[in-house]
């Protein structure tokens, strides 16, 4: 029996960037970071912008890029950073703190990308991030 050996590509680099949805361009930081790895920057920008069309334009998203030795790449679009969601909740309410309800809403949005399957665990994780940002969490009555 003959085997067809799959073509193997070795990973040259793994890159993590936070890029505004739909706004990837060859300008810094994308251009220099990908250019030094031999990536076709226009090809990346087109692929990223197409992959983020469902998101609100300009919202930052965490993007993981695996670069292979043959200069090809795989893109993995993550979720919006927690810090952005926290700041957005504060701006929307026009106050300098967020409520427990805001924390729960953010936890529900981030649950697929967190290291927990329980909403309680996600809420604790988000609350920890909020505290590390030196932002108070108040009861909804405030």
pLDDT for residue 6 is more than 80? no
Q: What local confidence, expressed as pLDDT, does residue 7 receive?
A: 63
**pLDDT tens digits, 48-74:** 999 999 888 999 999 999 999 998 999
Domain closes at, from 77, 101, 118: 77
Q: Does residue 64 sit in the same domain as residue 87?
A: no
User: For the domain that residue 37 is a member of, what is the CATH number?
Assistant: 3.30.1550.10
Cβ count near 114 (within 10 Å): 15
Q: Mean pLDDT in the chain?
A: 90
Q: Does residue 86 sit in the same domain as residue 125?
A: yes
Q: Does residue 33 sit in the same domain as residue 86?
A: no
Task: Write down the residue that tokens 């604790």 correspond to.
Answer: 124
Q: Is residue 101 part of a domain?
A: yes
Cα separations (Å) of 47 from 40, 43, 63, 81, 113?
11, 6, 12, 21, 22
Residue 62 near residue 96, CB atoms below 8 Å: no
Count of domains for the chain: 2
Give me the domain span that covers residue 114. 82-138
**pLDDT tens digits, 85-120:** 999 999 988 889 999 999 999 999 999 888 888 999
Q: Does residue 130 sit in the same domain as residue 72?
A: no
Q: Is residue 1 part of a domain?
A: no
Task: Write down the residue that tokens 């909020």 correspond to.
Answer: 130
Residue 52 near residue 21, CB atoms below 8 Å: yes
């Amino acid at each position: 029996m003959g085997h067809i050996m799959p073509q193997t590509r070795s990973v040259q680099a793994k890159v993590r960037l936070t890029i505004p949805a739909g706004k990837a361009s060859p300008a810094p930081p994308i251009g220099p970071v990908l250019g030094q790895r031999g990536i076709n920057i226009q090809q990346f920008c087109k692929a990223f912008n197409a992959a983020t069309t469902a998101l609100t334009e300009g919202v930052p998203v965490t993007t993981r890029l695996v670069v292979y030795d043959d200069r090809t790449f795989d893109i993995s679009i993550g979720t919006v950073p927690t810090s952005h969601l926290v700041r957005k909740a504060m701006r929307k309410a026009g106050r300098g703190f967020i409520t427990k309800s805001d924390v729960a809403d953010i936890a529900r949005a981030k649950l697929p990308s967190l290291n927990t399957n329980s909403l309680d665990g996600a809420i604790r994780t988000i609350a920890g991030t909020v505290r590390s940002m030196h932002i108070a969490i108040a009861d909804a009555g405030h």
